[in-house]
Structure 1
Amino acid sequence: MDKRKAWPKFITKNSLMAYGLILPSLLVFAVFMFYPLLYTIYLSFFDWNMIKPVKTFVGWGNYIALLQDPLTYKVMTNTLAYIVILLMLNCAAPYALAFILSFVIKRRQGFYKSAFFLPSVISLVVGSILYLWILNPISGPVAIIAKALGISVPIWSKTQGLVIVVLSIITTWKVFGYNFIVIYGGVAGVPSEVIEAARIDNVPLHRIFFDIVLPMSSATGVYIFIMTIVQGLQYVFTPIKVITQGGPDNASSNAIYNVYQEAFTLYHTGYASAFAVVTMALFVVLLIAEFKYVEKGVYYEN
């Protein structure tokens, strides 16, 4: 019997070489992603504080306690509000700005692109401290201008509701530049002859944006939509840690910061692991829904 026939058809010399080349990356993912993920799921079924030598198995106890805790719903509401504000500031605003610079303003585009992208290379810790000074209700520039106009500035870090808005603005300062450059590339890739034909027919600019530019750059838009959520939840930890520490009364805490708080401040490791698993499951469901319903309407050239 020919030995070559004993191998499955999908195992060839080229496929073995491909598997060999991808193996180092898979090992890195296994060590730094898959193992921590599986270990987090494992810890979610135990009562442990990272100090005791013995872990106490509690089954679904951590998940039941999580669902019965009112703080869970407050934190998730904060997270949802933060994401909605972030999407408006980092998806809708960069899209409109990229359209204006591509088809309305033709001069000094390099300056505008550099100015908008610059904050994305600056440390978010520096940005958080900078905004803490700018928005200082007593001696900050905003307070001085408001005082001259006869307006009082609230202590935003101690005000329910307002604190989420300001944290979203701080994160936007970091994320906006990258999103703008990527969206600008997608918008600039829309065929100019289509835009010119619409202008000859006297199509209003807002119809050109919604009916031509937005659909034809939707692939870039979906990418930015996902990255805004991922980067936003990643970056917001820094201003919360530097400025508010989750206050006032957990009004600025979100799912990511609450997991850190439970695990490394209160040492509720099992509970924090359960919270992390639930958060991950929710975002996986949202991602699946996005691919199922949003991805169908995406335009891919050719």
Structure 2
Amino acid sequence: MNTIIYIVFLIILNFLIPYFISLIVKFFINKMQKTYKILFFIPSLFSLVVGAMIFTWMLNPVSGPIAFILKNIGISMPNWSNSGILAITVICFITNWKVFGYNFILLLTGLGSIPQNIIDAAKIDRIPKWRLIFNVVLPMNRGISVYVLILTIVQGLQYVFTPINVITTGGPYYGSSNMIYQTYLNAFVLYKTGTSSALAIVTFIIFLILLFIEIRFVEGRSDKYV
């Protein structure tokens, strides 16, 4: 269940939101695209350990800057490390801080690969931008979007391992753990190799299904145009 929650949060934070912002930058702002790429990509240069330590300091419920600001306006900050769903949310935000820029660049580049003559023809016919996006842009950009979606799930589940290990170690009571961390925990901490092997096989099957989807929708789509 925790793994499913992680996947849902990662898809929202690392795929849907970057996709939405890339559409806005491409079709509504259409200026300073290189600047946006640089600004969003800067966090990707830092280690997840550094990000985990920064977020832990900022979100400290006792002495962190956010807790101090909330205290001044009469709001007490909850101890998120004692709540499984809050810990998962914070861990996903840390991963989002790391991955957001990379996914944003991929999606924006994919939108830029759509033939300009199609977009110009739509403008001449005075087709509303929202219809252009839903009826033309999104279908033509399906290959790169499916690739980024699968990359978000696979890399996201791998990346959350570091903040889990640094901040919560799977707690409280395995409330922030997932299948990948649980595989590591059973193999190298609890020495339950049978349980660890079973979890590893299930994880492998999940990744195999995702690989099949990528080949079906990305590689197969590419072969059509060769």
TM over 0.5: yes
Instruction: Name the residue aligned to 2:48.
Output: 124
After superposition, residues 30-41 of structure 1 pair within 5 angstroms as: none
Query: 3-state DSSP class of the match of 1:257?
Result: helix
Which amino acid counterpart does residue 247 of structure 1 have in structure 2? G
The residue number in structure 1 matching 2:128 is 204
Contact 2:60–2:67 (CA under 8 A) maintained in structure 1: yes
Q: Partner residue of 1:246? A: 170
Equivalent runs, 1:105-144 vs 2, <5 Å: 105-144=29-68
Please give the per-residue CA displacement for 1:219-265, whole angstroms capped at 9, x wherever unaligned.
11111111111111111110000000001111100000001110111
Instruction: Tell me the distance in 1 between the aligned counterparts of 2:14 and 2:123.
Output: 28
Q: Deviation at 1:97?
A: 1.2
User: 2:71 is matched with which residue?
Assistant: 147
Tell me if structure 2 keeps the 8 A contact 1:215–1:298. Answer: no
Give 1:229's aligned residue.
Answer: 153
Instruction: Give distance in 2, aligned partners of 1:145 and 1:205.
Output: 40
Match for residue 95 of structure 1 among 5, 19, 26: 19
In the TM superposition, residue 212 of structure 1 has moved relative to its aligned partner by 1.6
Query: 2:87 aligned to 160, 163, 171, which one?
Result: 163
Give, in angstroms, the shift of residue 100 of structure 1. 1.4
User: What residue is the counterpart of 1:276 in the other structure?
Assistant: 200
Secondary structure of 1:104's partner? helix
Note if 1:178 corresponds to 2:94. Answer: no
Change (3 A) 1:157 1:301: farther
Instruction: Tell me how far 1:205 sits from its aligned partner.
Output: 2.8
Q: Could you report, residue by residue, the CA deviation over 1:1-32 in whole angstroms, capped at 9, with x for unpaired residues?
A: xxxxxxxxxxxxxxxxxxxxxxxxxxxxxxxx
Q: Give 1:98's aligned amino acid.
A: S
Residue matched to 1:191: 115
Task: Tell me, yes or no, if the aligned pair for 1:89 and 1:172 is still in contact at 8 Å.
Answer: yes
**What is the rounded CA distance, in whole Å, between the counterparts of 1:298 and 1:95 in structure 2?**
20
Q: Tell me if the contact between 1:94 and 1:176 (Cα under 8 Å) persists in the aligned partners.
A: yes
Q: 1:138 to 1:298 in 2, by over 3 A?
A: farther
Q: Which one is further off, 86-95 or 257-266?
A: 86-95
CA separation in 1, counterparts of 2:33 and 2:45? 19
TM-score normalised by length of structure 1: 0.69
The 1:145–1:273 alpha-carbon spacing in structure 2 relative to 1, beyond 3 Å, is same
In structure 1, the gaps of 5 or more residues are 1-76
Segments of 5+ residues of structure 2 without an aligned counterpart are none
- In structure 1, how many angstroms separate the alpha carbons of the residues matched to 2:93 and 2:133? 25
Instruction: Mark the CA change 1:190 to 1:289 in structure 2 (over 3 Å): closer, same or farther.
Output: closer
TM-score if structure 2 supplies the norm length?
A: 0.90
In the TM superposition, residue 289 of structure 1 has moved relative to its aligned partner by: 5.3
Q: Specify whether residues 191 and 278 from structure 1 end up closer, same or farther in structure 2 by C-alpha distance, changes over 3 A only.
A: same
**Structure 2 equivalent of residue 4 of structure 1:** none
How much does 1:118 deviate?
0.8
Kindly tell me: are residues 201 and 130 of structure 1, through their superposed partners in 2, closer, same or farther at Cα, counting changes over 3 Å?
same
Preserved contact between residue 161 and residue 180 of structure 2 (Cα < 8 Å): yes
Describe the superposition over 1:34-78 as per-residue Cα deviations: whole angstroms up to 9, x where unpaired.
Answer: xxxxxxxxxxxxxxxxxxxxxxxxxxxxxxxxxxxxxxxxxxx10
CA distance in 1, matches of 2:221, 2:60: 43
SS at structure 2 position matched to 1:173? helix
User: More deviation in 180-189 or 138-147?
Assistant: 138-147
Write the distance in 2 (CA, Å) between the matches of 1:150 and 1:199. Answer: 51
Q: Which has the larger radius of gyration?
A: 1
Q: Does the alignment pair 1:263 with 2:163?
A: no
CA RMSD of aligned residues (A): 2.2
- For residues 147 and 199 of structure 1, the distance between their equivalents in structure 2, rounded to whole angstroms, comes to 51
Secondary structure of 1:227's aligned partner: helix
Q: How many residues align?
A: 225
Q: For residues 287 and 182 of structure 1, do their structure 2 counterparts lie closer, same or farther at Cα, with a shift above 3 Å needed?
A: same
Judge conservation of contact 2:41–2:102 (CA < 8 Å) in 1. yes
